[in-house]
Every structure is written in structure tokens, then in C-alpha cells.
A and B are shown apart, each in its own frame.
Chain A
Amino acid sequence: MRRRSLNMPGAIVRVCALLFLAASSAVAQPVSEPWDMAQVVKVWCSGDRDARIASFQSLLEDVVEADGPARQWAANLIVQYRDGNLSCAQDTGYIPAGDQFLDVVTGNLVEVIPDDAATPFLNIPLRRALSPFASAVQLVAAEAPENRLRAAQGLARTLGDVPPTLIERIYQQEQNNQVAAVLEGVLVPALLGSGDADAQLRAINTLAGNATRKSRATLDNFLAQEPAALSGPVRTAAESARSSVHWVIQVSEAMTVAYHGLSYGSVLFLAALGLAIIFGLMGVINLAQAEFVMLGSYATWFVQEALRALAPGLLEFYLFIAIPFAFLVPALVGAFMEWSIVRHLYTRPLLTLLATWAVSLLLINLVRVTVGTQNLSFLTPEYLKSGFTVFGEFSVTWSRLLSIFFAGITLIGTLFVLYRTRFGLRMRATTQHRQMAGCVGVSTRRTDAMAFAFGSGLAGIAGLALSTIYNVNPTMGTSLIIDSFIVVVLGGVGSVLGTALAALGIGQLNAIIEPLYGAVASKVIVLLAVILFIQQKPNGLFPRKGRR
């Protein structure tokens, strides 16, 4: 016997359950459905590919004719089947309904399903065939515009064997502009193939408004037809649409590269910022810096787990709730490390190098024995899933956008702390001239300790931002440390703006070179470029002013 485990936050579960009860009262009641469910289940569970496709097709045809509740019923069934939630048993199938199961043949709700019930395996071609039918059934059945929009977008990926005439019919009746616009896109191949000049012009218009590589390929194929098959105006329209689509794609591809550079740069910046402050202020080469990034990620994970246990309703927002923890945990560890190890070694920089390296190994192994070496599982909140298309082929993922956002906030916050607070003033004073600052009453020792903690905390924020992009494990920091040092040295030791610019520059250079010459070459070229730059400007982009 199997039960589904629900790991959704409790509040959402409750809301869903309520909704489901409302819906399932309609679902559970034997509606006047025109289907022989036993036959449908039999085909869906064990039929061959063609039989299943025929069954999807006839279900879709029936749904169009059926009444509201029956449509809902069918949409629920086919979506559950697509998502792998239909368990096949002897002569029947079960789909989850709240915390019970619905016998799809009898319509009864049952607590447990038989042991031998199994989910049928859907291979790639089957899922590819099924997916447009599921979307089409949803499109017919769904009443809320956002659900219809999702279904239409599903169809826009591929229409498969769904008859275009049906979509045409739905399109004619569609009230919602957004849904209608997506459906227009779905109809393009059918319209282009219709041979009717008006329909073709309409389709070309749609393609021109939707500048993607797919549209360009469609137009290319269309234009490659024999000259006789195309009327003059259609050909001119298609040609001008093709060139405008092509232009938009070129621009959007360039913007994609720039965006990749920006997002990689923001990752580098986040990782390097703490280092820039510690290295810049105290000249301490902190090799454990990357482990503070790792600690920040782990703190985020612990916050997530704590929320999961204590306040599941807030789980979706764990990334924001975790900000203070991701800052404070590494900051405290950093402060402790400064107090116990680093302050004794300020006069011996080589020893700090060794000592901080030892600390880095210690932290890695400490995490390894306490938490384990496996990659931690982070929940991707609904609002961070996938992304959106800005225009053409330029699309943006939310998680990358979040890291850019964090980088921006951290940059502003750090600049604020440095230039608008007493602590920042003391820090800048100590950086510029330690003895002099001491003479005018700045407690340089305390400033050092606080700056070290501050730099460690900033690394922790980097760990928080990285947890949605990269994988989190004890050794995640090791790959960051070298890049961070390159960024700090290139930016000019101790300069926050220099660090930001250097990170952006390296990120951008990487993003430009990688698609052209591959990731291996881009590493080499970037390193070479940095070496050449440092040769010309040994103190980096923004050399430190003042004396040591």
C-alpha cells in the first residue's frame, strides 16, 4: 500500500483540501459522463501507443460535447495521468483525492489502494503525445482564465495530434485576450498550410509579433516553398517578418549574453565582497572565506528545515527569513575565529594564510561529520520556479534575478555601512592609516574584529543567494575561493566598487567567450587577461590611496 506524502506547507494544504472538497463533491458523484471508464483505464494502463493516442483523441472529442462537471472530471483524470498519479489496479485505476483515493471506474472514495496497484510507466514518446491532449482537455474544461492560459501555453509547445480545427473553434469563442494571443500562435502552422492568403497573412503577423527562433525557422520553411505556391503580397509580408524576427533575435541573443555576464558577475561579487573587506582592511588573506559562504548556505538550510517543522505556512519565504541567520551565523564564527586565531597572527601574514587554511579544512570536515556530505535539498519556492521572457529569445530566470538582486542590495548596504556609519568611518580610517587612526582614538583592534565579522557575514549572504543556483555541500566553497581572490586583486585591494566592477568584468568576459570557445578556453583566456591587466596596473582597477 502506498500513501502520498504531502510536503506542501500546512496552510496551503488546508486551502487545497478545502478547494478539493468543494471540487470533489462534483468529482466523486457519478456524473453523466459519456465514457466507458473501465475501457479507458484498461487502455491507459496497458494499451499500446496507438490505442492510447486514439483514446486521448476520443476523450477530447467527448469532452467538447460534455457538460461542465463531466469536463472537470475528465480534465482532472487526464492531468493526474500525465503527472503520474494514476495507479492501475486490477480492472480499475485510482487517483489521489485529498488524503483518500478515488476509484475512477466506480467513483467511490477509498482509504487505501491495493498493494499490486502500480503507476504505469510513460515513456518519452507517450508523454509527448499525451501532453498536448491533456492541455487541450484542460483548455476546454478550465473556467479560470489563468488555467486556460497555462493550458494554451502547453499547446504552444507542441500541438501533437490535437486537431487544429478544434483549437480554431475555441479561439473563435475565446474572450480572454492573453489566451487568444497564445492560441493564435498555436494555430500558425495550420493557417500557413491552409493555402488561403488572408489566413497566411494573419499567421505571418502572429509570427512577426512572436520573435523566437522557432518563428524564424517556421518562416524560413515557409519561404523555402516553391515560388508558385506563394502569392506576391504573402511572400513580401513573410520576408519582412523574417527580417524583423531575425533582427529581434540577434538583439535578444546579445542581451542574453550580457545578462549571463551580469548574473555570473553578481555571483562572483557576492563571493568576493567579504574577502575584499577583510583582505583590504587587515591584509589578512582569509582562505576560509569560501567556507563562510558554505556556512551561510547551511544556515539557510537550517532555517528552511526549522520553518518546515514549526511554521510551514512561512516556508515559501524561507529565503528572506533566513537573511539575518545567513549573515549572523558566519559573522559569529568569523568573530570567534578572529578572536581565537587571526588576531594573534596580525604581524605574521604567512602564518595567517596557513591558519585560515586549517580553519577552512576544519569547517569543511566539521560540517561533513555533523550534517553529512550529501547535497542539501532546497525547496524552490513557487515564485522562483522557471522565469519569464523579456522579449525575443531573451528570457530571465527568477533564481538568477534573485542573486542579482541580492548582489545589488549587498553592494548598497555595504556602501552605506562604509560611508554613512561610525563603524564604516572607523573602518576606512583604519584601512588608510592604522597608527593615525589609533592616535585619534579609534580602537583598531575592535574595528578589526568587527570588520572580520562583517566580512564573514557578507560571505554568508552570498551562500544564501547561491543556494538557489548551485548545489550546497561541504566542499562547495573550494571552487569559489580562487575566483574570489582574482576578483579582489583585479578590483584593487579593499575597494568595494572595484570589486563590483572586476566581478562584472570577469563575468561579462566569461559570458562572451564561453559560447564562442567553450568553458575550458574561457577560463584560460580570462586568467590571461587578468594577468596582463595586473602587469599593467599592479594595484588593480582602484588602487588604494594613502599610506600603510
Chain B
Amino acid sequence: MRRRSFMKGVGVAGLAMSAPGIILPAWSREKVKVGCLFSSSGSMANIEGRLNYVVQMAAQELNRAGGVLGRQIEVVTTDPASDWPLYGQQGRQLLEDERVSAMFGCWTSASRKAVLPVVEENDGLLYYPLHFEGEEDSKNVVYMNSPPASSVLPALEYLMGDNGGRARRFFMLGSDYVWPRTINAQLKGYLQQKWGIEPDAWQEEYVPVGHSDFQSLVNQIKSFADESGEQPIVVLTVVGNSIPNFFQEYINQGISSLDVPVLGLDVVEADLEGLDTDQLVGHLNCWAYLQNAPGAANQRFLSAWANYVQENNVPFSPDVAIDPMVSAYTSMYMWAQAAEKAGSFDVPEVRNAFPGTSFDCPSGYKIKLTSENNYVHRGVFIGSVNRDKGFDIVWQSPETTIPEPFSPYI
């Protein structure tokens, strides 16, 4: 290749990738626009980036089946660059300039909090696909995933029970923002009120978002574990690339799940991609979907994603699926269903159509919106890291649970 043409190619590729995504023209009046608020750069890019594609995949499926209310869906993507205030700014652009009918977005609670005033002011609609700390109930946000009462607490209860090894000491390590701090506040209340555990049985540490050097923290975990004879665990609420970095250091310092198991609340299959999971076997997570979930709906979803990745050259692995992907995918269908039911894309009318909308989620559960708030009945999975960079299902709830947005333990 000649140098100049190479330069040109490089230039074009760079331009296409680095320009903000809001450059798609509204070339068809027939189309109905929805927006995506997921980062493709910065600390969250490796996991959030996938959600852009899965939303587009759902839109493509709906479009092939005739669209929503006879109109094709157009997905407008953005790149808030893992920078929390930018989510608010780009959300405003989506709502005010692009006039999107619904948005699918945010991973961290910090980014959701940045978008919250924007959607409320514009009476927009944000589908939020992550499990989170609860303590929030906006009529403009659809909380597609579970609050702690139906995700974190069952997992903690499992670890404290006979099958989980009777954990009694807790090292809480999180990124420093609202989700880890609220979760840990709830956990402490829960441990104190429900189990009568004293405050000297836990230690709470926070690192800046994007922190990568965990050697002294892992060392602190070691000495925390040695302090007492009772079984310690780590409740891990670090996010983004801090997760694999933490596990890398955990492996390097030679701690196994037999010594101190880690309950990784934001750990998904994708975080294990670069790690030697032979040494991580037995660490746990909890979500409303795991890739190993049984059922035909999951098989359909997995093969659809693999095909989509192949056909569109998506820069992510075709055989890794994570909960927020499924939740984002499901969001699109739930929105389409509500819009069909309402016969309109108008947010208030779509919202009135919410109660009773349900969907056969890839997780194997029939999930549905509650009638009193914008939360969704989801199932609960507890997973345990296996050798194949995935999670074995340790436990799953027999049915979907009733979401409790506000925790009694705080």
C-alpha cells in the first residue's frame, strides 16, 4: 500500500470513529428515532460498547418484522466517553435536537444520575439496563434490571449460608461513586439488622474510577483475612477496567476463592476475557441473566448475537453475552410493545401502556413491568466463575421476584 493512500485510509477511519455519533441525518420521515447513550471510549468502553450494538440488533430484528406501528426504527448512537456529565449533555442533544422517542443508556449510576434531570425536564424516556442501588423512582426512567433486594442480597445470603461457606467478614471494595457507596451502606444495614453483625467485621475501601494498581489493596485483603478465624469474603463493586485489573492482581498474589471468595457485583463474562480463569474458579457474581441460562430463548438470543457480530463486523466477541446486553435488548422489545399498545410514540401515552407489558427474556423468565412503578420483575441468578471464562449457575430463583426500589436497611 502506498503511504499516501494508507494515510488517507487511516484518516478516514479515525474521522469516522472519533466524530461524535450524532451525525446520522434524519433522511426518512417515516422512521422513528431512538437513542443510545453508551460509551465507546474510556474506562467503560469494553463493556458498555457492546450495548450499542445489541440495541441496534434488536432494532434490526423489529424492523425486519415490519417495525413499530408500521414505522422503521432508527437508532442514533452517541459516545459519552465514560465521562458522567457528558451523558447528560448528549442525552439532552438526543431529546432536544434528535427528538428521539426513547433512549437506551447508561451503565454506572453516576451516569444515570447525570441523565435523570434531563429526561425529567424533557419528559423523555430512558431505559436503564443495569442492576443498581435502587433508592430512585422516576416516571421517566424504566429500570430494566434489579434493585439490590432482588440481586445483591440473595447472593450475600447464599455466601453466608451453608452452601456458600458461612461468610462472616466482609471486605467491601468499590469504585468511588454513588452505586458502590449506596450498595455498601445497604449491606452494612442489612448485616447489622438482619444478622446482628458488628461493624468490626467489615472494612470499606474505595478507589477512583479507572484505578488500575491494586497491589496494596489486595495486600490489605490478605491481612484482613488473617485477622480473625471467621470466613472472609470480598464484596467487589469496582467498575469498568478496574475489575480485570483487580482480578489480575488477585491471581498474582496467589489468593484463591477457597481463601477469600469475591462476590463481584459488576463482574460479567466480558471481564474474564483476558484473564486466566483457572485461578479464579469459584468467585461469584449475581445478575438477572447469565450466559449459561437454560432455555430456548437464550439459545435464540446467543445465535442471533453471533450472527449479528459476524455480519456487521462488530468489534466484540460473538460468543460472549452479558446481562446488560440482554437487558438492553429486552428494553427495545418492551418499548416497542408499549408503543404498539399505546398506538403512539408519545411518551405519556407509552408510559400509560406500561402496566402488564411482558417479554420472554433470554434469561428464561417471562419478565414484566410492575403496575405501580417503572421497575421490572426479573429472575435472580448467582454465578460462579468456571474454567471456560464463563459462569456456572449456582442458584437461580424459581420465579421472578417483586422489585423493591427502596431498601429498608438504609
Contacts and interface: CB of A to CB of B under 8 A. Distances in A.
B215 interface: yes
A340 interface: yes
B124 interface: no
B296 interface: no
Contacts of B281: 84
Interface in A501-546: 511, 514-515, 518-520, 523
B43 to A, nearest CB: 7
A372 B315 contact: yes
Nearest to B220: A515
Contacts of A25: none
A7 B242 CA distance: 27
Interface in A270-327: none
Contact of B258 (A128, A366, A375): A128
B252 A399 contact: yes
Interface stretch (A194-202, A357-365, A434-442): A357-365
A470 interface: yes
B394 interface: yes
Interface in B295-313: none
A125 B165 contact: yes
Contacts of B49: 373
A236 interface: no
Interface in A342-394: 358, 361-362, 364-366, 368-369, 371-380, 386-387, 393
A365 B316 contact: no
B164 interface: yes
Interface string B245-273: 10011011110011101000000001101
Contact of B42 (A131, A256, A475): A475
Contact of A400 (B18, B215, B254, B387): B215
A46 interface: no
A3 interface: no
A374 B46 contact: yes
A469 interface: yes
A267 B245 CA distance: 14
A514 B281 CA distance: 29
A397 B279 CA distance: 15
A366 B14 contact: yes
Contacts, number: 169
B392 interface: yes
B18 A365 contact: yes
Nearest to A361: B18
B45 A475 contact: yes
A123 interface: yes
Interface stretch (B28-36, B86-94, B200-208): B200-208
B401 interface: no
A267 B7 contact: no
A131 B258 contact: yes
Contacts of A158: 258
A386 B206 CA distance: 25
B219 interface: yes
A544 to B, nearest CB: 30
Nearest to B240: A475
Given A123-B394, A374-B46, A369 B17 contact: yes
A373 B387 CA distance: 23
Interface string A230-245: 0000000000000000
A121 B392 contact: yes
B161 to A, nearest CB: 10
Nearest to A212: B226
Contacts of B270: 374
A248 to B, nearest CB: 14
Given A399-B252, A471-B274, A374 B7 contact: no
A399 B259 CA distance: 21
A121 B273 CA distance: 22
Nearest to A523: B208
B84 to A, nearest CB: 16
A470 B253 contact: no
Contact of B14 (A361, A511, A523): A361
A157 to B, nearest CB: 7
A364 B248 CA distance: 23
B45 A125 contact: no
A397 B252 contact: yes
Contacts of B213: 264, 267, 470
B185 interface: no
A519 B208 CA distance: 7
Contacts of A257: 216
Contacts of B17: 365, 368-369
A374 B216 contact: no
B216 A515 contact: yes
A467 to B, nearest CB: 10
A469 B218 CA distance: 13
Contacts of B317: 372, 374
Interface string B273-284: 111100001100
A514 B229 contact: no
Contact of A378 (B45, B254, B274): B274
A358 B213 CA distance: 27
B344 interface: no
A378 B7 CA distance: 30
Nearest to B395: A123
Given A374-B46, A475-B43, A520-B176, A362 B163 contact: no
B5 interface: no
Contacts of A479: 43, 210, 212
A214 B225 CA distance: 10
A264 B215 contact: yes
A217 interface: yes
A373 B258 CA distance: 32
A269 to B, nearest CB: 14
A470 B258 contact: no
Nearest to A398: B252
A431 interface: no
A9 to B, nearest CB: 15
A260 B215 contact: yes
B213 to A, nearest CB: 6
A478 interface: yes
B176 A128 contact: no
B384 interface: yes
A451 B270 CA distance: 39
A14 interface: no
Nearest to B41: A475
B259 A157 contact: yes
A469 B248 contact: yes
A210 interface: no
B405 interface: no
A361 B215 CA distance: 30
A10 B75 CA distance: 48
B26 interface: no
A520 B254 contact: no
B410 interface: no
A127 interface: yes
B324 interface: no
Nearest to A384: B252
A514 B43 CA distance: 22
Given A471-B245, A479-B212, A217 B205 contact: no
B46 A473 contact: yes
A375 B271 CA distance: 8
Given A123-B384, A514-B216, 14 more contacts: A212-B226, A260-B215, A260-B216, A362-B11, A365-B17, A373-B45, A373-B49, A374-B273, A386-B253, A475-B45, A479-B212, A518-B205, A518-B206, A523-B208
15 contacts: A121-B384, A124-B258, A213-B226, A361-B18, A365-B13, A366-B10, A366-B14, A372-B316, A372-B317, A374-B46, A379-B276, A380-B251, A473-B45, A473-B46, A518-B205
Interface of A: 84, 121, 123-125, 127-128, 131, 157-158, 212-214, 217, 253, 256-257, 260, 263-264, 267, 340, 358, 361-362, 364-366, 368-369, 371-380, 386-387, 393, 395, 397-400, 469-476, 478-479, 511, 514-515, 518-520, 523
- What 6 A-B pairs are tightest by C-beta distance, nearest first? A375-B274, A365-B17, A213-B226, A362-B14, A519-B207, A372-B315
